[in-house]
Amino acid sequence: MVVAASVVVAAGAVTGLRSAFDDRPPVKEATSTERTLSPRPDPPPSPSPRSAARSGSASPSPSSSTSTGPPPERRPSATATPRPTDREQRGAPAAGRLYRHPDSHVLDWVRANPDDPRRDVIRQRIADQPASVWFADFTPATITSRVAAVTSGAAAEGRVPVLVPYAIPDRDCGGHSQGGAPGLAAYDAWIDRFAAGLGSGEVIVILEPDAVAQADCLSAADRAARFASLARAGRVLKKANPEARVYHDAGHSGWRPAAEQAGLLRQAGAASAASSDGVFSNVSNFHRTADEIAYDRRVLDALGGPADLGAVIDTSRNGNGAPADGQWCDPAGRRLGRAPTLSTGEERIDAYLWVKLPGESDGCKGAPGTFTPSYAYDLAR
């Protein structure tokens, strides 16, 4: 992948801990109602159009996509949201329903460095927050058991895990995170096995970061085949576990125009209740939360589909917004974003998540996908 995603596997606790901060208070609209991700009746099915980091139980995965050359052109939205200057105050507790997977590089570092003066800041503001678990290596024989280990661990605690399947063929257009399944038939079979580990409890699935937004390197026929496979994946995941929430790749607010991205998402099944609960944006990127909220709402409006389709936003590193110079590889001056939560208070925004684990390098401050304590501390302090 390029800027929109990277390999992270992370953990975090959720109750009574200091949260990270963002660039400003949440944007409130006069018509918005608090949106809390909680069980809801299954919508009626509709036809579907549509290095080295840990994943699952400490399996290898490719290096961060953001470590390769310049990203594809990302056109800024013509209707970018104005940027208030107030910061969101630190100290608000994260929502307690998200799962902290107990196996991650940041937790390893915290446990191994009890006397490091940076430890408490990194522990409280990064390691003690919930974050996604990535499954980025193509290992069909073990994928079911590895997914089940995460979902069963979350179910035992009554929490919601966030899983990231990342094995689409031609991943990252041959960039630093290239890899994935050898072909779409193999990928479809891998997804079947992935789905078999989802269990029956609530789970959030961030389906293949960059697979939709970064599909220009494919021929028209290959792109159509990929989108059909993604639509199938959504159906398989939701059929295997009706409590699974599946979100599709919307890129981010600085990439494609919302209507253009919605057209691609529609081909990938994102408008169908049978394969989608909505979209995700800003994975491993730095765009401000308010900009992503506005962009995601425009994408959802253009997408169509059921009215309850929502969006989730990666807020892990967007506390200061994106660098003005366009730097994307471990840029200086960034800060943690809003704490992960399933209660955003924003209409059509289902969650703020840490999909990219803060402190895992894009490839400039450390080896791609590895935890770099100096980078983590700079983000957290």
d(Cα 52, Cα 61) in Å, to the nearest integer? 5
Of 248, 155, 159, 166, residue with least CA distance to 197? 155
**C-beta atoms surrounding 30 within 10 Å:** 4
What tokens appear for 7 in the block?
A: 């390999």
What is the per-residue burial (b if ≥16 Cβ within 10 Å, else e) of 183-196? ebeebeebbbbbbb
Which residues are CB-neighbours of 93 under 8 A, at least 6 positions away?
14, 15, 16, 17, 18, 19, 339
Exposed / middle / buried, residue 47 (Cβ in 10 Å: 0-12, 13-18, 19+): exposed
Handedness of CA 17, 18, 19, 24 (dihedral sign): positive
E strand residue ranges, the chain = 133-135, 162-165, 203-206, 244-249, 278-281, 310-314, 349-353
d(Cα 316, Cα 284) in Å, to the nearest integer? 7
Catalytic residue positions, numbered: 172, 210, 362
Handedness of CA 236, 270, 213, 311 (dihedral sign): negative
d(Cα 52, Cα 176) in Å, to the nearest integer? 11
Q: What angle do CA 166, 175, 234 make, to 5 degrees?
A: 25
| Residue that has been written with the tokens 């094995």 in this structure | 167
Furthest-apart CA pair in the chain: how many Å? 57
Q: What angle do CA 355, 158, 249 make, to 5 degrees?
A: 25
